[in-house]
Structure 1
Amino acid sequence: MADLPEYLVDQTEEEILNRMLEKVPSDIDKSEGSFIWDAQAPVAFMLSEAAIWAQELLRRGFASTAASDNPDFRSPELDLRTAEHGVTRREAVAASGTVTFTGTAGTTVPAGTLVATPADDVSGEASIEYATTASVTLDEQGAGTAPIRAINPGRSGNVPAGVIQVMATPISGISSVINTEETKSGTDIESDQLLLERFYAKVRNQGTSGNKAQYTQWANEIAGVGGVEVVPLWKGPGTVGLYVLDTDKRAASPDIVAAVQKYIDPTQDGQGEGLAPAGPVVTIMPANEVAINISVKVQRTKEKPSTLDEIKKLIESGVRTYLKQLAFYKEDPLVRYTRVSAVLLDIPIIIDFSELKINGQSNQNIEIGTGQVAVLGTVSVSE
């Protein structure tokens, strides 16, 4: 917080007591333990406490100082402050994905069937449950794929491929279940810093009359949205396209896309039934993911023994962070070869590298077009 106002400076118990004693005539005993000292000390204590309360009230009265840096804390004062401008905290979003059932051909798996990840008794990690959102009948090969959504909203529902293996709701004729792809778009309740960021965007960059800034603001009001690209005249006059990311800077899930569509232009007939003005037809779409595949030969340090698997994980982490920074950043729509090289050089256990290829190309940047987002694909590390 900025410097305190003068009326809250030097308001400690000692300072207040000294000022009070200075007002007492000099011919009266003011030493510690005297009647006057004992009478004024409790007052000084209460006034110093009141000054602390005033400082706290001042801190909580402004959005910038009410917001907490603790990702697990949510400031109610920040909620009140942002709500004055129509910006409310976004709720948690459940992860979604698909699972493949195998078993007897013709078996039907109804909507609402529960599947789960196995619990880990060693680490104490609890099972994560999902429910199918549509029914599926196994084909002649005894396989069928159904969409799922996590029972509990939040990032905990984002799990890698191959971990959903438990039939929490047993069904005769079903022998196994597996998620062949990761589940994604699960989002925790919005943090103070993200809410503050949206609040500043609203008050500092006013959207009006259906301009691009306003479409962006509208989309960002939906829980789970982590990025928006607005394309005016998407399919000619009277059309607007919005590409949407989730908070992990991946293509938004169908649930998030549907929620944004319903909020902005539910009828898509130009009648202005949503927030969009009458006239334009607005289409909401998930971003198109562009996989960034990396292969490289590395030389490892001898002082800190490491494995290629450890190096691979460090490369994946560094490149993911870099790609998230690029998401919908139109001032530089390139995945740069030099920036990926810098990620490798920033890993202490890599002394040197060679034969770095991005999507099979050496010394070439990858251009990311309109509505596209770069995401990490495969990483191959060798010596």
Structure 2
Amino acid sequence: MQDIPTFEEIRTAILRDTVSLNPDADITPDSDNYIRASSLASCATGQYAHQAWILRQFFPDTADSEYLERHCNLRGIRRKNATLAAGKAIVIGNAGATVPAEAQIKCGNVFYTVRTAVVIGAKGTATVEIIATEPGTESNQYEAIAGQFMAAAAGVAADVQIESATGGTDTETDSALLARLLELLRRPPAGGNKYDYKAWALSVDGVTSAYVYPLHRGLGTVDIVITSDNNVPSDDIVSKVQDYIDSVRPVTAKNSFVIKPDVTKVNIVVKVRLSGASLEQATANIRQALKEHFSALKPGDSVIVSQLEAVVSDVSSVIDRKLTQPASNLIAEKNKKIEWFMLGSIDVSIL
């Protein structure tokens, strides 16, 4: 594409044409010709900019958000909405006391509501299903955390332990929306091959990645593993994906099954020799490096010890290391389940 002339280049061209038509014309900065040329150059610059903007909207990879959505709409793709995190919490209280539906739980700046009423059992505890009041990733809780009822019912303690809350996602970004459109353009619908199943799963709110395993349980079967916000999805999202795929998959397909990956935490124990950094600082850097490594692992990927050693060695303050756990490579189970290795605890000590 030809370079767009600058304001100064346009004005110089106008002044040059003016002198070409009238060699005696005054084109000094204080002249009328100079002022008129500046005005025309300003208008022309705006027109060039507008034409360049229009050209960018022709192509989805350079289009603004509004026009990217129009490109997607022409092909039946819509921007995915933010979703609510859902999970479980443990409450305590008197046996027989009722935890009412819609009771609100506060956890930091996030609020959850109880989905269905539950009666506390004889042991004085009960597990309740909860759902966030606002959509987004902020409401996800992947580890047990304390919360409190905003107004505890009679016989129910105010303190609550939220076991987990997953499936909260933000509104789909432009880059993610564009990636789905480009995938459709590169791999158009093909009557139900594995790429179609992936596209169907990714079109459902709350799904951020999908992995398809054709013939996983025999002829005519397809298993689809989905994740949400780079973690395990909620049961609600799994159910929605299952219902949608069942409605669009070929009738000749024997069975398709949407599943969560089975998470296995990998604990790291490593001894290091350091230079120019404290153990506390080095531990923080090693933890961040390992988080980045594990975040790139997909369900079904194995953990390779030599790669973990390389990750630790690449930390700037580490001059030597000895990894004692895991002691050998961890091969992900893919038959009875789809195993997903995630980072567990990290123990760093001096070598």
Q: What TM-score results when the alignment is normalised by the length of structure 2?
A: 0.89
State the match for 2:267 in structure 1: 293
- Give the RMSD, CA atoms, in angstroms: 2.3
Q: Among 56, 61, 71, which residue is 1:59 paired with?
A: 56
3-state SS, counterpart of residue 291 of structure 1: strand
Listed as ranges, the matches of 1:172-211 within 5 Å are: 172-179=154-161, 181-211=163-193
The residue type paired with residue 276 of structure 1 is R
| C-alpha deviation, 1:251, in angstroms | 2.4
Distance 1:312 1:111, change over 3 A: farther
| C-alpha deviation, 1:211, in angstroms | 0.6
Listed as ranges, the matches of 1:304-323 within 5 Å are: 304-307=277-280, 311-323=282-294
3-state SS, counterpart of residue 85 of structure 1: coil
Distance 2:173 2:99 in 1: 37
Contact residue 309 and residue 323 of structure 2 kept, 8 A:
no
Contact residue 80 and residue 172 of structure 2 kept, 8 A:
yes
3-state SS, counterpart of residue 66 of structure 1: coil
Identity score, percent:
26
| C-alpha deviation, 1:312, in angstroms | 4.5
Distance 1:83 1:30, change over 3 A: farther
3-state SS, counterpart of residue 243 of structure 1: strand
Contact residue 316 and residue 376 of structure 1 kept, 8 A:
no
**Runs of 4 or more consecutive aligned structure 1 residues displaced over 6 Å after TM superposition:** none
| C-alpha deviation, 1:261, in angstroms | 1.0
Distance 2:122 2:105 in 1: 23
Distance 2:86 2:274 in 1: 39
Unaligned regions of 5+ residues in structure 1, if any? 68-74, 119-126, 266-273
Contact residue 15 and residue 27 of structure 2 kept, 8 A:
no
Distance 1:316 1:138, change over 3 A: farther
Q: Among 122, 128, 145, which residue is 1:146 paired with?
A: 128
Q: Among 122, 128, 131, which residue is 2:113 paired with?
A: 131
State the match for 2:25 in structure 1: 29
Listed as ranges, the matches of 1:1-383 within 5 Å are: 5-6=1-2, 9-10=4-5, 12-24=6-18, 25-32=21-28, 33-66=30-63, 75-118=65-108, 127-159=109-141, 161-179=143-161, 181-248=163-230, 250-265=231-246, 274-280=247-253, 281-301=255-275, 303-307=276-280, 311-328=282-299, 333-358=301-326, 362=327, 364-370=328-334, 371-383=338-350
Contact residue 115 and residue 164 of structure 1 kept, 8 A:
no
Contact residue 306 and residue 349 of structure 1 kept, 8 A:
no
Distance 1:178 1:170, change over 3 A: closer
Distance 2:190 2:142 in 1: 41
Distance 2:216 2:184 in 1: 25
Contact residue 279 and residue 349 of structure 2 kept, 8 A:
no
How many residue pairs match? The answer is 343
| C-alpha deviation, 1:28, in angstroms | 4.4
| C-alpha deviation, 1:83, in angstroms | 2.3
Distance 1:296 1:335, change over 3 A: same
Distance 1:314 1:94 in 2: 32
| C-alpha deviation, 1:313, in angstroms | 4.4
| C-alpha deviation, 1:337, in angstroms | 0.2
Contact residue 269 and residue 323 of structure 2 kept, 8 A:
yes
Distance 2:307 2:195 in 1: 30
